Amino acid sequence: MSTLLESVEISNFRSISGCVLPLSSYTPIIGYNNSGKSNSITAIQWLLRRSLLPKTDFHDATQPIEVVGTIAGVTAAHVAAMPAAQQRQIAPYIAAETLKVKRTQPPGAAKVGEITLSVWEPTASTWNANPTGIDNALSALLPEPIRIGAMEDAAEDAAKSKTTTTIGKLLAEFIAPVRAAHSAELSGFLQEISRRVSAEGDMRFAELVTIENQITGKINDLFPGIGAKLHFPVPELEDLVKGGTLRLHEGANHARDFGSYGHGTQRSVQMALVRHLAEVRRGAAPWLGTTLLLIDEPELYLHPFAVEQVRAALKSLGRTGYQVVFSTHSAQLVPASEAQFALLMRKDDARGTHARSRLRDAIQKVVPNSLHQMEHLFTLGNSSQVLFADRVLLTEGKTELRLLPAIYESVTGRSLGQERCALVAQSGVNDTKKSTEILAAMDIPCKAVVDLDYAVNGAVRDSYLLATDPDISALKSELASLAAAGRVSLAANGLPRGGVVTAAEAFVLLAQQVGAQPAIASLGGKLLAQNIWLWHLGDIEAHLGLAEKSEREWARFNTDLNARGLHAVCPHPATVEQMLTWALA
């Protein structure tokens, strides 16, 4: 089992006044531009790699910057793998396999030595600042992270092997088996070179000796007794590794400088290194320490198939000793299985950068039953647009999902995406209440669109309406009249069931009854006050004039809509337009 940086609490860093980030082994950070995604990643990096932050990094110049990390899964095996001195230093701070650390830089700090690393002492319930050996012990659990930024320094990052670059850190991973297998052989080669070109070599080239004798003779004319030898230092094996780099070739052409390629190629190379690292790690034995891989927008400049390959590689790394945290604007990098772990970053004047509740946490809070948790997770997790939206419109069926985006664009000239509105078709109307509560727990504004049957059934169950509501009683009376005339079939509870017509068709017939319309309008007003739009004609199909619910009928409507416009193809365009205006208000 690897350790995991389970949560990070960031205070007073750049756009972040105070923010708590729960982390998993694969954590997408989602947010609009300038919401503070990269600031969050940089703060995580600073927790594990100490550096002196400039004054401009302080949210409030009078307060310290603090980043607290909670490390989970610190087992006895992790401690036993450390040197004895580190074991003695870190063991008192571990409780329930958890370790808490805090990096602090006070305002006005002028040197790195003024930055403190504190450890939470569980028995005393206090922070212990700079205990001896804690930096080394922390590095054993969470080594210095690998940070892959956006494209500002791509050429430097992917082509120069330095300890702070991606290529340098990845080459250190890749070269380990080469060093283990060929260290003696390579050292022997280097030794042979040293014997021929170093000043102390015993097999020096004759040409060097000739030059040295000529130089020595001229020196002795001025300073008798002084000789000269040419010396060419031979690098150690480690120096060769550190000097490693990456050169790009196209076919039989000569290598070209990395920086001469476009951003798409440069980003592809960076991500190819990550993919190869994933393959290397996939076959490796589990290790105790966990390395954080921190990436800004891995999808940048990549085509969709390449994005999918990168997603698979990052997921693989998350299972093989790496903890992957990345910012993204791509729903392709947040599949349904990972949507529950995504962090939604937002920024406003009052709170600065902050994270909304994760989908996983919101569902666990709102839905106590584990099976129902899975159902809601499947419904909302598969609607990845939810994670990228400022508001959500819940619908009952597929007709809204297929047609409302096209209708909105036809009417306004803008897309729902431009309005930052996600359209989510639920698995059933029974999800409306819980889905609304889950999204509310995530601080995502939500409205719902429902058919007429919900007003007399689901709305009562969900406590939006009372069972004794006189409008519901009026509708049941109208349904009884339709049943007496042989036009619909009713169940024991007085509501439609399949028979003469389907239950959905029965509610459309109900909406056509003059006596039912005042009650429908009244119920619609009561639900509208609770952010629920009721289709007064029974369902959306009745408002749009659709003959059936089918892909063929949806395609026909879309074609007519594009050719003739909403008012020409829809029998009730004003109502549909009112609904869209309400939904986006």
pLDDT of 495 higher than 80: yes
pLDDT at position 321: 82
pLDDT of 410 higher than 60: yes
Q: What is the pLDDT of residues 224-252, one digit of tens each?
A: 888 899 999 988 877 776 666 777 887 66
> 498 phi and psi, to 5 degrees?
-60, 145
Q: What is the pLDDT of residues 80-89, one digit of tens each?
A: 888 888 888 8
pLDDT at position 576: 97
Nearest to 373, CA basis, from 451, 438, 320, 294: 438
pLDDT of 170 higher than 70: no
Per-residue tokens: 50: 């100490």
DSSP 457: T
pLDDT at position 429: 47
- Which residue did the predictor score with more confidence, 179 or 471? 471
Per-residue tokens: 448: 């719902």
**Which residues in 439-465 are b (16+ Cβ under 10 Å) and which e?**
bebbebebbbbbbbbbbbbbbbebebb
Per-residue tokens: 541: 């199909």
Contact indicator for 69, 101 with CB cutoff of 8 Å = yes
Q: Which helix (H) or strand (E) holds 368?
A: none
- Least confident range from 10-19, 56-65, 94-103, 253-262: namely 253-262
Per-residue tokens: 167: 């290529």
Q: What is the pLDDT of residues 15-43, one digit of tens each?
A: 999 999 999 999 999 998 899 999 999 99
Average of pLDDT values for 365-389?
77
pLDDT of 282 higher than 80: no
What is the C-alpha to C-alpha distance for residues 53 and 103, in angstroms, rounded to an integer? 12
What is the C-alpha to C-alpha distance for residues 456 and 208, in angstroms, rounded to an integer? 101
Nearest to 555, CA basis, from 447, 547, 149, 467: 547
Contact indicator for 254, 291 with CB cutoff of 8 Å = no
pLDDT at position 187: 87
CB atoms within 10 A of CB 551: 9
Say yes or no: domain 4-160+263-348 is CATH 3.90.1150.10.
no
pLDDT at position 373: 76
pLDDT confidence band for 265 (50 / 70 / 90):
confident
Residue-range domain boundaries for the chain: 4-160+263-348, 166-258, 366-584
Task: Annotate 381-418 with three-state secondary structure.
Answer: HCCHHHHHCCEEEEECCHHHHHHHHHHHHHHHCCCCCC
Average of pLDDT values for 318-324?
87
Q: What is the pLDDT of residues 307-316, one digit of tens each?
A: 998 898 888 8
pLDDT at position 446: 94
Helix, coil or strand: residue 35: coil
Per-residue tokens: 71: 């490390």
